Structure 1
């Protein structure tokens, strides 16, 4: 079998065959019932739910709708969130574990109801979900997870094989889960929002929330303001932390996906290995034809080997499961997710003193259900409805086990990478940069980051993250500078792509640096 080529450019499959409407930026002050910041599944679903109840809603998106994690997901709609239920029972009790399952099952049902009620053409299909292990260690963990399913009355089976060329120890199924095309689904909700009078503004970056006489005011980078009774921060990482210290209570993780034409019928089901590195398999469609989505290879943002190595890891997995077929890699892309220390999202009031500013974050790679959960919960809070999951997802929770231990471990890790970045010593010469290559350099004794684009132009930025001062690392697969401490990401020209950083990296004009000493350091992670 010939070695399949990995595409040069990152491009999400979901953006093909999908027409997402565009909206202009905010150009004047507004007063509304609810201001929503973030145009992914959470913000759009919340805007839909609230406009359907007659509320005056404005949604602000810093870039374009569905251009973030929602547009780069594997789009499984499931309550099978890796190995989670045995851990939740042991750390937080039976009731918490059961409620987490019920919340995500409710989210699946809400999506299914909307698809059926509006007859949304979004490739929605019911599928059984499977976790599988290839080692004895994870075989035992799956058996414990199956016992947790049994205790929680979750419908599933322990099985001995899956329909792929993978030798497994066992597999655990969860019945009647689902998958879909997320952008086709959400594009329909966007249409419903605007028909109900909801306002949407793209290219509008929210930077702060001010208090004024019982209401809150979202302040944008351009200076325009939106006054609202409630503010919903649905921007992946909260655009406004207040005193919540959310950057110290979560960590960022990247994972990778490839769309593959394998020239063989898909056997059904959605699959995820629990061994490390994890690998995911599901079906999708392109131009009406079945293709495979192969994902996984997750790691902390800004840490580890060069990012293209993770795509090569996915290709090796494809070589294993498609041994009898030549396959073609059609697209490749990556996504970033935030993970809380107890693995349950933060959804609800920003702090106990800011009850009208609500956040939703920390979906741990399961944003289709958790994002829908969050939208429903925040909408219920705004509408004054009872919601059984409000305490489960409350951002104010901080359980001693495992949260306290994780808090110290993650912040020790941050300190380690902060020190490591400051101690790095540049080598080599900037003139040796190849087109489409990035590295760290030294300019007059100070570290900078350099990228030579395909046309030979060199772009130079400071490598000190504007959030907490860590040194960013070059991401060769996305052409970005990524922070290993809190997961902030910047374009090669310095613009903020992912928070918690709010300010861009300082740019430098290469042509103005002729009198400086330029040395460089080839840089992966």
Structure 2
């Protein structure tokens, strides 16, 4: 059975340099070397399996190398919205799974010596309007009642502690953290023991009986299982993902270093916009996708002049002391937004030896390591994850 679903790949006949003898064998072939692929390899490392990881570029060539480095609990929606949609029990289960993600990163990786600029000072969610303030206060009260570590922050405290203007208050989510995402993923992949093959663009995946054959322009890989860790690029690999995971562009700018002033990362505008100060003093800000929502789609990581100007305007409005600060970096990255806003883990319908994980909807670092654990349980024990099993979409 052709696992690519008849999709058109980007490797031409002329670029295919494989020879009949260029076959690499493994137990598990992972496609994608971002947070998902590295984490899947890490969680499979003690199962006695030979694992290889392929990527069309290098480690973190996609969203894992172009995100803001937030490790947050929850999902793309404020908790109260998620609770209204799925009920308090499922919403809390979802929250606890994402909290487990950061706990596992801290306990199994950071405390074991992985250097990745990890810090756990919480994240602020700030209100710019009275409507958002009311919703944030309701969310805060709900989470306090459920035993989640959150703290309400008044307008005056925001102005004093963050040196920020024009915010009406907010919530401090105390369990959240931040990280250098590339250092994190590199460390995870190195510790997994998997063999990494960079610059191997997959153009064919065929599942026949108990064997999966994955072809790149440089080699052929044969194994028992395949894991698609391709997130926003998943529809390039199989047509099943076309109406399940949508490639969505995010925009980020980073300033030159300035004196420290932000104690923790921040969200604003119903988590659509976000900013943090990096360890060297630079200020990172991203978001404003809503300004060009119709065009901020697809897999071309093109910076948007309109959005980048809006990011600078936002920065100068809320932090006047940053006016005149030079912008040193500008970039765009491709995220995978799922059809229902939740991650998905499972196997392709009718192909029980081709697994996948992704659809984090702008929360890949906040979910990826835990997703790798849940995927490994699905592979090794047949255990389906609660809430985020892809069976909900079949």
Please give the TM-score of this superposition, normalised by the length of structure 1: 0.64
Where does residue 49 of structure 1 map in the other structure? 43
Q: Distance in 1 between matches of 2:90 and 2:29?
A: 31
Q: Given that residues 78 and 178 in structure 1 are in contact (C-alpha distance below 8 angstroms), is that contact kept between their aligned partners in structure 2? A: yes
Kindly state the Cα deviation for residue 131 of structure 1 after the two structures are TM-superposed.
Answer: 0.9
Q: Secondary structure in 2 aligned to 1:310? A: helix
Q: Kindly indicate whether the alpha-carbon contact (under 8 Å) linking 1:83 and 1:274 is maintained by their aligned counterparts in 2.
A: no
SS class of match (1:154):
coil
Q: Check if 1:212 corresponds to 2:208.
A: yes
* Paired position in structure 1 for 2:78: 84
Per the alignment, residue 4 of structure 1 pairs with: none
Once the 2 structures are TM-superposed, how far is the Cα of residue 214 of structure 1 from its aligned partner?
2.3
In the alignment, the residues of structure 2 paired with residue 183 and residue 26 of structure 1 have an alpha-carbon distance, to the nearest angstrom, of 30
Question: Is 1:85–1:145's contact at 8 Å kept on the other side of the alignment?
Answer: yes
Structure 1: how far apart are the matches of 2:131 and 2:84? Answer: 18
- Residue 180 of structure 2 corresponds to residue 181 of structure 1: yes
- Determine which of 287, 295, 316 is the counterpart of 1:296: 287
Per the alignment, residue 165 of structure 1 pairs with 164
For 1:131 and 1:375, the matched residues in 2 are separated by: 27
- Give 1:334-353 correspondences, 5 Å limit: 334-351=332-349, 353=350
Partners in 2 of 1:306 and 1:65 — Cα distance? 21
Show the 5 A alignment for 1:96-495.
96-161=90-155, 162=158, 163-193=162-192, 196=193, 198-222=194-218, 224-236=219-231, 237-238=233-234, 242=238, 244=240, 246-261=241-256, 263-275=258-270, 278-285=272-279, 289-299=280-290, 300=293, 302-303=295-296, 307-325=304-322, 326-351=324-349, 353-384=350-381, 386=383, 390-398=385-393
User: Tell me, what secondary structure is at the counterpart of 1:397?
Assistant: helix
CA distance 1:341–1:386, shift in 2 (3 Å): closer
Q: Does the 8 Å contact 1:128/1:176 carry over to 2?
A: yes
How far apart are residue 394 of structure 1 and its match?
A: 1.4
Q: Which runs of 5+ in 1 are unaligned?
A: 1-24, 400-525
1:47-77 per-position Cα deviation (integer Å, ceiling 9, x unaligned): 1222243210111101122111000010111
SS state of the match for residue 311, structure 1? helix
Deviation at 1:306, TM superposition (A): 8.5
From 52, 60, 63, the counterpart of 2:54: 60
Distance 2:229 2:285 in 1: 27
Checking the alignment, whether the CA contact within 8 Å between 1:252 and 1:338 is kept in structure 2 is: yes
1:220 offset after TM fit, Å? Answer: 2.7
SS in 2 for 1:119: coil
Cα distance in 2, alignment partners of residues 105 and 68 from structure 1: 24
| Distance across 1 between alignment mates of 2:235 and 2:46 | 26
Q: Distance in 2 between matches of 1:84 and 1:275?
A: 7
> Is the CA contact 1:80–1:129 (under 8 Å) kept in the aligned structure 2?
no
Question: How many angstroms does 1:221 deviate by?
Answer: 4.3
Q: Find the aligned partners of 2:54 and 2:235 in 1 and give their Cα distance.
A: 11
Q: Distance in 2 between matches of 1:135 and 1:37?
A: 43
Any idea what the Cα deviations from partners look like across 1:247-274, whole Å, max 9, x if unmatched? 1234332222121236332231111002
The secondary structure found in structure 2 opposite 1:157 is strand
The answer to whether the 8 A contact 2:36-2:358 is kept is no
Query: Do the aligned partners of residues 144 and 330 (structure 1) sit closer, same or farther apart at CA in structure 2, a change above 3 Å counting?
Result: same
Question: Larger % of strand: which?
Answer: 1
C-alpha contact 2:289 2:296 (8 A) present in aligned 1:
no
Cα displacement (A) at 1:275: 4.8
Task: Quickly say closer, same or farther: Cα 1:125–1:306, change in 2 above 3 A.
Answer: closer
Structure 1 position 241, deviation (Å): 5.8
The two structures, once aligned, show a CA RMSD in angstroms of 2.6
The structure whose residues are more often helix, as a share, is 2
User: Is the 1:266–1:292 contact (alpha carbons within 8 Å) kept by the matching residues of 2?
Assistant: no
Q: CA deviation at 1:86?
A: 1.4
Q: Work out which structure has the larger RCO, using CA pairs closer than 8 Å and 6 or more positions apart in sequence.
A: 2
Tell me the secondary structure at the aligned position of residue 150 of structure 2.
coil
